[in-house]
Structure 1
Amino acid sequence: MRPVEISGKGLGLREVTLADVDALHAVYGDPAATEHLPFDPRTRAEVEQLVTEAIEAAEKEPRRLYLLAVTEQDSGSVIGVARLHIEADHPHSAEIGLGLRPDHWGRGIGTDLVRLLLTFGFKHLRLHRIWGARSPANTAAQLAMLVAGMVEEGRIRHHVRARGAWRDSVVHSALEDEWEGHRGL
Structure 2
Amino acid sequence: MRRVLCEGERLGLRDVTEADVAALHAVYGDPAATQHLPFTPRDLHEVTALVRQAMEAACAEPRRLYVLAVIDAERRDVIGVARLRIEADHPHSAEIGFGLHPGQWGRGIGTDLVRLLLKFGFKQLGLHRVWGARSPDNLPAQLAMLTAGMVEEGRIRHHLHTPHGWRDSIVHSALEDEWTER
- Which TM class, normalised by the smaller chain length? over 0.9
1:109 corresponding residue in structure 2: 109
- Is the deviation greater in 99-108 or in 155-164? 155-164
Q: For 1:64-103, what aligned pairs fall within 5 Å after superposition?
A: 64-103=64-103
Name the aligned partner's letter for residue 119 of structure 2.
T
SS in 2 for 1:180: coil
For residues 99-127 of structure 1, give each alpha carbon's deviation from its aligned partner in whole angstroms, at most 9, with x where no partner exists.
Answer: 00001100000000000000000000000
Deviations 1:16-63 (A, max 9, x none): 000100000000010000000111111111111110001001011100
Residues 1-185 of structure 1 mapped to structure 2, 5 A cutoff: 1-181=1-181
Deviations 1:115-154 (A, max 9, x none): 0000000000000000000000000000000000000000
Distance in 1 (CA, whole Å) between partners of 2:43 and 2:160 is 20
| Distance in 2 between residues matched to 1:120 and 1:40, nearest whole Å | 29
Structure 2: how far apart are the matches of 1:175 and 1:125?
13
For residue 163 of structure 1, report the CA deviation from its aligned partner: 2.0
Q: Distance in 2 between matches of 1:144 and 1:153?
A: 15
Aligned residues: 182
Hey, what's the Cα distance between the residues in 1 that align with 2:180 and 2:139? 22
Q: State the secondary structure of the residue aligned to 2:45.
A: helix
In structure 2, what is the Cα distance between the partners aligned to 1:180 and 1:3? 25
Give the CA deviation at 1:9. 1.7
Q: Percent identity?
A: 72
Q: TM-score with structure 2 length normalisation?
A: 0.98
Q: One-letter code of the match for 1:5? A: L
